A = this chain, B = another copy of it.
Amino acid sequence: MCGCDWPPDAPPRPRLPAQPDHAGLPVAANALPASALADLRAAIGADHVLTGDALAGRDADGWQVDRRGRYLGRAAAVLRPASTAEVAAVLRIAHAHRLPVVPQGGNTGLVGGSTPDGSGRELVLSLRRIDRIRAVDAANLTLTLEAGCILQTAQDIAAEQGLLLPLSLAAEGSCTIGGNLASNAGGVQVLRHGNARALCLGLEVVTPAGEVWDGLRGLRKDNTGYDLRDLYIGSEGTLGVITAAVLRLHPQPRSTATALARCASAEAAIALLQAALAGSGGALAAFEVMNAASIALVGKHLPQAVPADLPGDLDASQAWTVLLESADASDPDRAQATLEVVLAAAIDDGIVDTAWVAQSLSQSAAFWRLRESIPLAQARDGLNIKHDIALPTSRIPAFISQADAAVQALVPGARHIDFGHWGDGNLHYNVMAPEGVAPADFLARWEGPINTRIFDLLGSHGGTISAEHGIGRLKRDELARRHDPVALALMRRLKQALDPLGIMNPGRVLPM
């Protein structure tokens, strides 16, 4: 996930439906066998096995509803083990009783992967108490920590060493490292440093049967058999439970610079991406694109978030605004010089019409504020149809042109709010109701048909229906319909091999 769907000013907890005695949905009594309950209490302490009233009284922790309030469930119990050994004990009990287990970190995911369903049968396994820093090895540029660590805490620990943990996303104050790895989180630094997958050197994992794999290696080269690490990363808790990880750190950049550039077309924006990559090498740290409608929407709802000196032709229908960021490890002036050279050449080559390089930290912050205000401006305008998709960067212009035409053919006047991490090929291609049409009516009538067209087009351009948010419950059936059938069969075999009883996060990623 990234900041694109995360409402920046939303309250930390969504409002729940009024229910007198519990936080989630109603549940039949006795969902958990008494012997299993007794075993769990013995294993991790009765205080950390929350059921019934105890669970209802802890609503504020939000175990049964995701942070956006889209998935409301009801757990048989919430389990809060304090160590890897306790996780293993919990899983041995769940395994023996064949109880479904939903691993959970900050529960900030966007696809229903870490929230219990409404059956009242699932055990929520919260990793939040398992949050120790196990080792800081600055000379190896690694940090070993437990799954329940908050991402921002991990960033702070790296910064104390003068180092950078380049995983950054809007939920970083509440999401956990375990959840980041289980969902292979993306964010705003992927262009330079890769997804969560690229930042992980080793894992500790508890299998569904309660075995502990100690793969906490801090090695950059290790060719000793199958790549278990990458199999668990991104598997969304359906194969086992990540309890600790070795993360790779990077030197802190000594300078960064930010610029906005205006391109007349999506093709020109992609040409600028190529030029910026070639001209700055590994120094290009961000390449975010916003269409004119996105900026106009910010201007409508959050006018203070549009930098004052941007020219007034922002809503010209063909204009695209690019936010570029460059970082340099060795030279305090170099990042800005790099951007200036790249942009001057791009203007000479007719790729860029106008550009502004931030001359101060506050200007740089203002440029980012424009980009980061789009989701909130959208939220203020009402519901819309969101797509977290990715394409080969070379295909983005053709895709947008064809997708726009397809949407207009279905719903003339529908508004296109296009923005995202184009440097990674990641688009947030969102569609809003035409002016004057009620958003809820628009979604009810058109979400299905529009998604079908968009997903069909993605298939023809080699794109993906989930770039960074994952599958969870939200896209499970779409994946089953659209993914390569051999890949799906292989995934089912892997699930069967590693979780033969099917107790790990059932119904997420793959159908039960």
User: Are the CB atoms of B498 and A490 closer together than 8 Å?
Assistant: yes
In this assembly, does A507 line the interface, its C-beta being within 8 Å of a C-beta of chain B? Answer: no
Q: Which of A139, A217, A220 has the most CB of B within 10 A?
A: A220
In this assembly, does A186 line the interface, its C-beta being within 8 Å of a C-beta of chain B? Answer: yes
In this assembly, does A153 line the interface, its C-beta being within 8 Å of a C-beta of chain B? Answer: no
Closest chain B residue to A277, Cβ basis = B251
Shortest C-beta distance, A324 to chain B (Å), equals 14
User: Are the CB atoms of B222 and A467 closer together than 8 Å?
Assistant: yes
User: Are the CB atoms of B328 and A281 closer together than 8 Å?
Assistant: yes
Closest chain B residue to A201, Cβ basis = B392
Contact A486:B212 (CB < 8 A) given known A224-B466, A251-B277, A498-B493: yes
Partner of A390, one of B195, B221, B233: B221
**Docked pose: A218 CA to B281 CA in angstroms:** 20
Taking CB atoms, residues of chain B closer than 8 Å to A231 are: 226-227, 230-231, 494
User: Are the CB atoms of B282 and A281 closer together than 8 Å?
Assistant: yes
Closest chain B residue to A468, Cβ basis = B221
User: Are the CB atoms of B277 and A213 closer together than 8 Å?
Assistant: no
Q: Which of A4-12, A52-60, A362-370, A457-465 contacts B (4 or more CB under 8 A)?
A: A457-465
Partner of A219, one of B211, B212, B270, B463: B463
Partner of A487, one of B215, B278, B471: B215
Taking CB atoms, residues of chain B closer than 8 Å to A437 are: none
What is the count of identical protomers in the complex? 2
Within 319-337 of A, Cβ neighbours of B (below 8 Å) are at 327-330
Shortest C-beta distance, A123 to chain B (Å), equals 22
Taking CB atoms, residues of chain B closer than 8 Å to A230 are: 227, 230-231
User: Are the CB atoms of A234 and B227 closer together than 8 Å?
Assistant: yes
**Docked pose: A509 CA to B227 CA in angstroms:** 12
In this assembly, does A214 line the interface, its C-beta being within 8 Å of a C-beta of chain B? Answer: yes
Taking CB atoms, residues of chain B closer than 8 Å to A391 are: 219
Contact A226:B215 (CB < 8 A) given known A140-B392, A221-B190, A330-B341: no
Q: Which of A137, A198, A235, A281 has the most CB of B within 10 A?
A: A281
In this assembly, does A439 line the interface, its C-beta being within 8 Å of a C-beta of chain B? Answer: no
Interface residue ranges, A against B (CB under 8 Å): 137-142, 162, 183-184, 186, 190, 192, 195, 197-198, 207, 211-215, 217-228, 230-231, 233-235, 239, 250-251, 253, 270, 274, 277-283, 327-330, 338, 341-342, 390-395, 421, 424-426, 462-471, 475, 479, 483-484, 486-491, 493-498, 509-510
Q: Given A226-B239, A283-B330, A494-B497, 15 more contacts at CB 8 Å? A: A186-B221, A190-B221, A212-B486, A213-B486, A217-B464, A222-B390, A224-B465, A225-B488, A226-B235, A226-B490, A228-B490, A230-B231, A280-B330, A281-B282, A497-B497
